[in-house]
Amino acid sequence: MDSRLLAVATELLDQDGWTALSLDRIAERAGVSRATVWRAGLTRANVELVLRRKLAADYQELMWHPLTMPGSGLDRLQAALRSLCAVAERNLPLLAHTDLAFHEPDLDAAGLELDYFGPWLRILEQAAADGSLPPVDNPTRFVVALTDALLLTYVHLRAHHSTYGWTPDSTADHLITLLTHGYLPRSG
């Protein structure tokens, strides 16, 4: 797939959503003919497939560090949350227009296999083993609540409120602190 045309399509998706991904709109923005876009195979389905593959690759790449870094299980959990924010930032145009990007039916339809829960479950096991966090009764349910709270909020703030100062770092810092230390302000 033509990387320049894909960049144009991703920009259109980011600005106007899935409906912007027509041959005509992509061609107009790229300054090429509709036939050129069609020959490049830049359909909505193909763009979505490429973006989902990138999402899965970024997730696998960025979740490796928290699994292999030194430190406590809690340190690894916080690093994993930061990695998830980095995944979201890299894939913001896709994630801002679907909250199902990590769901199995969508991944299966794209022909992708992704062990979403594996890293989180291993980190929770390590944290319970080293005593940095108590054991979790239902780890999968805990991971869903934790990562959805982070991911969906991060994407919303970055995609819709960045003009209010929600930079990648400030958003990640704020949400990770909120999720790991609780809602109420505390001194010290």
Letter for the amino acid at 94?
L
Domain that holds residue 31: 1-42
Residues 18, 88 share a domain: no
CB of 83 within 8 A of CB of 63? yes
Number of structural domains the chain divides into: 2
Rounded to an integer, what distance in angstroms lies between the CA atom of residue 24 and that of residue 34? 6
What burial class does residue 19 get, using C-beta atoms within 10 Å of its C-beta: 0-12 exposed, 13-18 middle, 19+ buried? exposed
Residues 64, 11 share a domain: no
Q: What is the per-residue pLDDT across 127-177, written as a single tens digit (0 to 9) for each?
A: 999 999 999 999 999 999 999 999 999 999 999 998 899 999 999 999 999
Give the pLDDT of residue 15. Answer: 87
66: Cα separation from own chain's centroid? 16
Residues 53, 19 share a domain: no
Rounded to an integer, what distance in angstroms lies between the CA atom of residue 77 and that of residue 83? 10
Residues 112, 156 share a domain: yes
What's 3's domain CATH number?
A: 1.10.10.60
Give the pLDDT of residue 188. Answer: 56
In a domain, 112, yes or no: yes
Interacting residues of 91 by C-beta distance below 8 A, sequence separation 6+: 51, 54, 55, 58, 101
Residues 87, 33 share a domain: no
Q: What is the per-residue pLDDT across 11-50, written as a single tens digit (0 to 9) for each?
A: 988 888 888 888 888 889 999 988 998 898 888 888 888 8
Residues 101, 14 share a domain: no
Residues 66, 144 share a domain: yes
Q: Which long-range CB contacts under 8 A does 132-140 form with residues at least 24 apart?
A: 132/72, 132/73, 132/74, 132/75, 133/73, 133/74, 133/77
In a domain, 186, yes or no: no
